[in-house]
Amino acid sequence: MSNTTEAIHLLEDKLQILLSNYEFLKNENEILLQSTTKLQHQLLKRDQLLVEQKEQYDLLKIAKTIDGSSTNTRDTKLKINTLIREIDKCIIELQE
């Protein structure tokens, strides 16, 4: 009988330890998920900022080329041609 009682107490102790570990890991997982979400949000904001700054850089490069202060006229002409083609596509879609 004593062995059975000891086995039950040992089992109860192990169960308490398992439950304690489960709660700890559950809380830690929740914290890590929140951290991951926060980092993903920050990454998205930085990606958006990078895209915006690249667009500003491209526009500035075109403006400098048109102004005559840059030697990249070929790039500007290609960009203007691309923009014209995009405008033409939009006009065609609007006429349909």
Q: Considering the entire predicted model, what is its pTM? A: 0.52
Looking at every residue in the chain, the average pLDDT score rounds to 87
Q: Would you state the structure tokens that stand for residue 9, as one six-digit string? A: 């107490």
pLDDT 10s digits, 39-62: 999 999 999 999 999 989 888 877
Residue-level pLDDT at 71: 60
Q: Which domain holds residue 51?
A: 2-95
Q: How many domains does the chain have?
A: 1
Residue-level pLDDT at 2: 79
d(CA 51, CA 59): 12
At residue 67 the predicted structure's pLDDT band, cuts being 50, 70 and 90, is low
At residue 1 the predicted structure's pLDDT band, cuts being 50, 70 and 90, is low
Residue type at 69?
Answer: S
